[in-house]
Amino acid sequence: MHIYDDYLKPIREAMEADSKSGRMNENLSFSGTNLIKGMEYKAFNQQVPEKRLLPNLADFARELGLTPNFDQKLGLHQDFAHLKHSEKLEEHYIVSMFVDIKGSTNLFKKYTPQTVWIITNTIQRAAIHTCLIFGGYVHRLQGDGLFVYFGGKNMSAALAVQRSLQFASVFTYFVKEDLKKLFNEQGIENIFTRIGIDLGYDRDVIWGMAGIGEISEVTTCSLHTSLASKMQSHAVSNGIVVGDHIKKESLTLTEYYTPVCHRTNNENDRYIFQIPDERFNYTQYDFNWLSYLKRQDFIATDIYGQLQLKQKAVTIPNRNVANLAPIAAVSKPYYDFK
């Protein structure tokens, strides 16, 4: 979709300048810093700023009419921050998501730790920036991946589910298509993402402070938070697995959900969690994120079948025939001055 082209550039430059790549004598630079001498954090920050979307992704956010909130703190969701150092607990719904980047360990076979750091941190920042666009809250960094919440006290559960599916689909497309193409050019294979998403309703989720003192975070205790992580492990490469509550909050999308057992041909994979005594059987589904992404009103498909960002029509102010007079004056046969 080209919205991540600006994030691919520093990854490509870092790869090409790596001391293991055999290009030690070439004059390659990274934001004006010689990469052969090592990656400097300052140079990386100039190329991929912490709190600023890169141009193409910024255009994407504007097209959606969404603004990222960069004023977040890990382990301190803004709607529940008051529970820090508190003995109170609250019940409130939340969508939990685990985004795992798999296969990055293999990068150490080809590149120095400095280059691997640039690659993984750029991917992670692309994920964070995209998550923030869709209103997600990054609760925790999980190695190369993320643990993310969607929703809060000023957002409906249905909208939180929608935003979570949009983010997961857009980012998975980036990894599966754009990032894979770059890695294949460098002879790197098997870098992919797996995502698990689930929704816990008010009755299912307890918010409170976990830990002691500053060794703490405001987090959730919920079966469905735990299941999101477990579902991630059941996803295929570049796949998304969701829980039954996600499906229930998006009934118009039923066609995009298929029980995982249909893929594995193992009926034991139908339910991600069961409590036999309570007759509780919780189904997990493969989510057809690509078909869902193609359905979004901000996406178009070009003649080659590639997804592109759909540009909104621009409304020109003061569009009045009288404003054409200065131009049309030289073409009187085509303009009625009466």
List of residues 6+ apart from 278 with CB closer than 8 A: none
154 domain-assigned: yes
List of residues 6+ apart from 77 with CB closer than 8 A: 137, 139, 149, 152, 207, 218
334 domain-assigned: no
pLDDT for position 274:
98
Q: What is the pLDDT of residues 220-267, one digit of tens each?
A: 999 999 999 999 999 999 999 999 999 999 989 999 999 999 999 999
325 domain-assigned: no
Contact 170, 66 (CB under 8 A): no
DSSP code, position 314: P
Q: Is the pLDDT of residue 324 over 60?
A: no
Give the CATH number, domain containing residue 74: 3.30.70.1230
pLDDT for position 337:
47
- What's the gap between Cα 35 and its chain centre? 28
Q: Is the pLDDT of residue 36 over 80?
A: no
Query: What mean pLDDT do residues 147-156 have?
Result: 97
First to last CA, the chain: 49
Helix (H, G, I), strand (E, B) or coil at 215: strand
Question: Considering only CA atoms, which of 185, 267, 255, 260 is closest in space to residue 230?
Answer: 260
Q: Is the pLDDT of residue 85 over 70?
A: yes
Q: Is the dihedral of CA 121, 127, 130, 134 positive or negative?
A: negative
Q: Is the pLDDT of residue 135 over 90?
A: yes
Query: What mean pLDDT do residues 176-200 have?
Result: 93
Q: Is the pLDDT of residue 37 over 70?
A: no
Q: Is the pLDDT of residue 39 over 80?
A: no
- Give residue 48's identity as a one-letter amino acid code: V
189 domain-assigned: yes
123 domain-assigned: yes
121 domain-assigned: yes
204 domain-assigned: yes
Strands 145-150 and 206-212: unpaired
pLDDT for position 77:
97
31 domain-assigned: no
Contact 157, 151 (CB under 8 A): yes
Parent domain of 272: 65-299
Query: What mean pLDDT do residues 37-53 have?
Result: 82
**pLDDT exceeding 70 applies to what percent of the chain?**
86
Tally of structural domains, the chain: 1
Q: Which residue has the higher pLDDT, 34 or 71?
A: 71
Task: Specify the pTM.
Answer: 0.87
Q: Is the pLDDT of residue 32 over 80?
A: no
pLDDT for position 187:
86
